[in-house]
Amino acid sequence: MVQVKDLHWKKDMRVSELVDSYENVGFQSVELHRASEVIVKMKKDSAKVFLTFTSNMVTSGLRGFFAQLIELGIADVLVTTVGGLEEDIMKATGEVFSIGTFNTDDVELHERGINRVGNLLIQNQSYMNFEDMITDILRKLHAKQKRWSVSEMLREIGLLLDDTNSILYQAAKHDVPLFCPAITDGAFGFHLYLFQQENPDFIVDVVQDFGNILLTTSYDDRKGVIALGGSISKHHAILATLLNGGAEYAVYMTTAHRTSGSMSGANTSEAKSWGKVKDESDIATVIGDVSITFPMAMTHALDELYEEGLLNIENK
């Protein structure tokens, strides 16, 4: 049985050394260390890795980290929500978001044309600029073909961007399928609707894309899931692995709790009852702010993969 050991700081301590020490600290630090080890195991076992995240993480500074992980070959399949894609496109075209506080006067923000996501602030003008750009993009897509699955459409948009910190750009460049099952749940969806009113032959097929995500793996593939946050992005990936035999590896990171009975709060152990992850799978659930927990666990995993010669960063 693992013994509790006291944590001690030392000069120039690396993130990996800190996360290693978490194995003996207790509480969520143990789960964070385990999450990192499960990520390493899924990569060493050549499992097909589903990385899911919600839009608020793209609002934050994790966007570039996700893009880097795609470039490094960590993710084989991506699933997210539409707000993150909108904001990925905004940032790819130079929009910047600000950091405020959680206690800002929201009525005052509204009067100033500013939207708040936690302690992050986005100008209305950024969405207006997005609207101008997305209409032009949809015209180009419509001219090329009339019917698109969501992932095919997102790949085409990624090819139009020129930003190495863009999730869409890196996914398209490295041929990593990017799924957004609720593509209409945001400004992007509203403009898809408006464009289709003028161009009824323009079809974005969500059902076809469900088939596409099922075909990204087979029943016999080993599968891993890294689910950051909850919502439809988490469920869509897990459902795909369930219909293909269940995942061998699963890491959930979230602030939601299992006591809510929601999909967002369901932990990796509960997933076994559904067959979403296999009975003998390696699992970890970390309760905490993903903007803190994920970079720590992932940095530890990247260091370990690099030291074992499993991560090529020379040309990155």
Residues with catalytic roles? 276
Q: For residue 15, what are the contacts with CB-CB under 8 A and spacing of at least 6? A: 296, 299, 300, 303
3-state secondary structure 249-291: EEEEEECCCHHHCCCCCCCHHHHHHHCCEEEEEEEEEEECCHH
Residue 10 CB-half CA count within 13 A: 9
Distances (CA, A) of 12 to 18, 101, 155, 300: 11, 31, 41, 16
Question: Exposed, middle or buried, 207 (CB in 10 Å: 0-12/13-18/19+)?
Answer: exposed
* CA pair distance 157, 169, nearest whole angstrom: 8
- Strand extents, DSSP E, the chain: 48-53, 77-80, 98-99, 114-117, 120-123, 147-149, 178-179, 203-205, 223-228, 247-254, 277-287
What DSSP character marks residue 11?
A: T
